[in-house]
Amino acid sequence: MMVRRALLAALLLASGSALAASGEAASSTAHPALWPAAKSPPALTSPATERRIAKMIAAMTLEQKIGQMIQADISAVTPEDLARYPLGSILAGGNSGPWGDERADAAKWARLVGEFRKASAKAGAGIPMLFGIDAVHGHSNLPGATIFPHNIGLGAARDPALIERIGAVTAAEVAASGIDWTFAPTLAVPQDLRWGRSYEGYAADPALVVAYARAMTIGLQGPLLPGKPLAADKVAATAKHFLADGGTDGGKDQGDALISERELIARHAQGYPASINAGALTVMASFSSWNGAKNHGNQSLLTDVLKGRMGFQGLIVGDWNGHGQIPGCTVTDCARTFTAGLDLAMAPNSWKGLFEATLREARDGTLPMSRIDDAARRILRVKAKLGLLGATPVERGNPALVGADAHLAVAREAAAKSLVLLKNNDGVLPLRPGARVLITGPGADSMAMQAGGWTITWQGTDTTAADYPKGQTIGRAMAAAIKNAGGSAAISADGSFKDRPDVAVVVYGEQPYAEFQGDMPNIAFRANAGEKDMLAKLKAQGIKVVSVFLSGRPLFAGAELNLSDAFVAAWLPGTQGQGVADVLVAGKTGKPARGFTGKLPFPWPVDAVSPVKAPLFPAGYGLTYASKAKVGPVNEDPHVDLVASASEGVYVALGKVPSPWHLSLDPGIAAKAVDLGAQEDAQAFAWSEPGAIGIDGPPVDLMRQLDEEFALKLEGRLDAAAGPIAVTMAGATLKVEPAAGPLTLRIPLRCFHEAGGSFKAVGTPLKITGEKGLVLTLRSASIEGVGQTIPCPAK
Ligand code: BGC
Ligand code: BGC
């Protein structure tokens, strides 16, 4: 079955191509007969359940039915609200924790869910609400949970049975915190790796996504059994994001997929029939558009294809205020998404307005009663299958399961299997017993870098080691393994050492990011922390260099590859650093616990130009310890101007002001290039009289960044202080007084907004005004995603 489908996909791909080339009209109306057929298993419901649901619906008021169709976020709703607004579902977004606590443990989550559940059961029709969360690589919002490699690393493992076990562990831990629904798996098939969510996709090969879609759905939910609810350690899965989230033009998040229907089907739709056939209870609509039409409002996709041709009997949930992006809609008013087929709108902070508008539209007939009843029926069906509607509801919530040893062992295995060996000249790896090893680089002891986005916080930023009580960093795990095998190992942040090592393991790569913050103008690795110099310095001393590269996608890193004797693509392996040590370090016997089995899930680029055409290493590439192949030297030219192609939120990068911005200096301010971490990677500004440095350029709209709690980040060094520094953004000025020395300053955009800044058409995004005597060195100035916890500077 799987083979046949893969073959079909290959045939379709061979004949289909980009829209322009195929000569097809750019239509956004699907033809269901062209799509693969599927069917929710009959066990998803039963005649008795359907009769019960019909009775319940007949007894419900209109308010109660509309309430079922709306989902609010815990940051903007309380259990008390449910008495007046009988909402059907509650979610916790990436930055939302119980009572504002992002570090809450499982018991606290269970308490919160319990309160909402009690309130919903008391209100109106007495139907318990459904609680959803993004457990996208384990129950990743919880400190102490088992955190797996992100999906791209699992794609490298090519092991559906492992995926099913990961699903089971994740479900057990989600259920352990009282929650009954995860917004996973992501079935995207990323085409353009500039997309910041590439790591949420398993692979470029639809056939692998098909196998994983099935495995993860079964792992999370278990097989659906007739007449029985999901077990207490199982949760509802979400196949997301329907459709072509990974196919948008230029890899733009929430963008537009300009492709033929054939390509949409062959490349992007394949995982859905597999997940639906396996019993997926929910599907999430994508933010993205297809040929100009927003999926949240596309009836041919949501109703005709998904519910019709694919026989999907569960509920379709929207994405975060995604309905508000349909032309003619706002986040608080959008009948059109429901008429198109959406059953449950994700209205995190807009739920009240949406409830009222939808109620009005139901009363005046804009939204037909048949559609409302269908939505309510699907939502109740999912609740019934989760065991929420019975006389004795299924109780989820055994906190002891979070981070259980057996779970951590699965994550360790997954981390090991996700590693891909790109280069191993002269057999530098595995590290021999007794070796003297230096472990260094910005990622050597950084849980945040190895865990990536969607971990504790939404963007994965602003975490500390204390947030991962059940994890070990790659550096620490390797040091322990090396010592265990009779060697010596030192972790040094800056690459310095006392005793000359035989080998240096340098761990580096991307800093954490998630949605749209991770979009890039090209696929070059930006070595902002002096990584290249560090590799070169070690190499020049005759020390063997092993690169362990942490990234959410394959990135052009030609120079780094050439400076390394061995290079390991480690993706975002999660919290179990021992999995990396198991493969890289030989034990006392002279053999490592595991060999390299991972293969590239996407092609590795030969330069920074995207999309990848002639890759350096094709998908499927990956060396083993048996291979003696020599790699390199490889191309080091990115073939794009890296500075000129930075984006609208980057004002200073490596000390330079990238286009479209330019620097303006008041008289009396001198600028010169200086070295902070690497050669001329920063610019020092010295004020000999009061004045400002400005970043000028074309007006840009930064509303989205404002809405999502982003911050301005200045990074460098304060060489000489001279009273407060005035930072102006979007026309509003705030004063800060950092201490002299290394500088990392973050000011939430919200603070500028509250001070009167307008983010609609920002022309001079940034201005820094100082007094005579100020000397400020900037390495970077940019907008960055952060948790909601950073306070504003005192006025
Ligand atoms: C939430 C995320 C959500 C995002 C939408 C954030 O504030 O925490 O869960 O996905 O907004 O853009
Ligand atoms: C993301 C979804 C996520 C949702 C809830 C959205 O912004 O696109 O993947 O499930 O937020 O956090």
C-alpha 106 to ligand 2 mean position (Å): 21
H/E stretch holding 528: none
pTM: predicted TM-score of the whole model, two decimal places: 0.88
**Ligand 2 site, residue 233, Cβ cutoff 6 A:** no
Residues 397 and 278: their CA atoms lie apart, in Å, by 25
* Ligand 2 site-directed mutation target among 71, 515, 710, most atoms within 8 Å of CB: 515
Give the atom of ligand 1 at the shortest distance from the alpha carbon of 707.
7
Alpha carbons 399 and 645: distance in angstroms, whole number: 47
pLDDT tens for 723-772 read: 999 999 988 999 999 999 999 999 999 999 999 988 887 778 899 999 99
CA 9 to chain centre: 27
Segment 675-685, tens digit of pLDDT: 887 777 899 99
Distance separating alpha carbons of residues 24 and 19, to the nearest angstrom: 6
Q: Is the CB of 708 under 6 A from ligand 2?
A: no
319 catalytically annotated: yes
Report the pLDDT value the prediction gives residue 656, as an integer from 0 to 100: 85
Q: What per-residue confidence (pLDDT) applies to 72?
A: 98
My answer on whether omega of the bond before 738 falls inside 30° of 0, hence cis, is: no
Please identify which of the residues 245, 319, 607, 648 carries the catalytic annotation: 319
DSSP 762: B
Question: Which of 254, 296, 515, 784 for mutating ligand 1's site (highest number of atoms within 8 Å of CB)?
Answer: 515
Task: For residue 200, give the ligand nearest its CA.
Answer: 2
DSSP-derived pairing of the beta strands 669-674 and 766-770: unpaired
Tens digits of residue pLDDT in 763-784: 788 999 999 999 999 999 998 8
pLDDT on residue 11: 38
What pLDDT score was predicted for residue 6? 40
Pocket perturbation via mutation, ligand 1, pick of 133, 320, 750 by most ligand atoms within 8 A of CB: 320
Atom 6 of ligand 2, nearest CA residue: 320
Measured in whole angstroms, the distance separating CA 701 from the mean position of its chain's CA atoms is 23
Q: How far is the CA of 219 from the centre of ligand 1 (A)?
A: 26
Give pLDDT, residue 349.
95
CA distances from 233 to 167, 175, 220, 222, 280 (A): 11, 5, 9, 9, 16
Which ligand is the nearest neighbour of the Cα of 185?
Answer: 2
Ligand 2 atom at minimum distance from 458 CA: 12
Q: How far is the CA of 272 from the centre of ligand 2 (A)?
A: 18
pLDDT at residue 788, as a whole number: 60
Question: Does 245 contact ligand 2 (Cβ within 6 A)?
Answer: no
Ligand 1 binding pocket, CB closer than 6 Å: 93-96, 320, 458, 515, 708-709
Which of 515, 560, 607, 715 is labelled catalytic?
515
Using a 6 Å cutoff on CB, does residue 319 contact ligand 2? yes
List, for the chain, all residue ranges whose pLDDT scores fall below the cut of 50: 1-23
pLDDT of residue 124: 76
Structure tokens at 46: 């039963």
CB atoms within 10 A of CB 671: 15
94 lines ligand 2 (CB under 6 A): yes
Ligand 1 atom with the shortest distance to the CA of 96: 8
Q: What is the reported pLDDT for 278?
A: 98
Instruction: Quote the ligand 2 centre to 274 CA distance (angstroms).
Output: 22
Q: What is the pLDDT of residue 673?
A: 86
pLDDT per residue as tens digits for the range 587-602: 999 999 999 999 999 9
For residue 710 the two structure tokens come to: 């982003």
Identify the residue whose C-alpha is closest to ligand 1 atom 7: 708
